[in-house]
Amino acid sequence: MEKKYRVHEFTIRMSRDQKRFEDFLNSLEGEVIAVFPNVVPRWTLGGMGAGVNLVYVIEKTK
């Protein structure tokens, strides 16, 4: 049996897109195998920080 996977790229800003990301995950037909964040450096008031600008979602399809 051959397994098939789909990779979705989801641009996100977690402070405002949390509900949209949740709806996206719930709308997937297959099983979510992994979620990989793309972490980028950001300047904050306290110095260097990190943020997520997009996530990759791996979906196992039937």
Sign of dihedral through CA atoms 26, 32, 38, 42? positive
Domains and CATH numbers, the chain: 4-61 (3.30.1660)
pLDDT at 59: 97
Q: Which residue from 43, 42, 38 is spatially nearest to 53, judged by alpha carbons?
A: 38
The Cα 11–Cα 9 span in angstroms is 7
Task: Name the strand (E) or helix (H) holding 17.
Answer: helix 14-27
> Which pLDDT value is given to residue 2?
86
Q: Is the pTM of this model over 0.85?
A: no
Give the pLDDT confidence of 1-59 residue by residue, as tens digits: 788 999 999 999 878 999 999 999 999 999 999 999 999 998 888 899 998 999 999 99
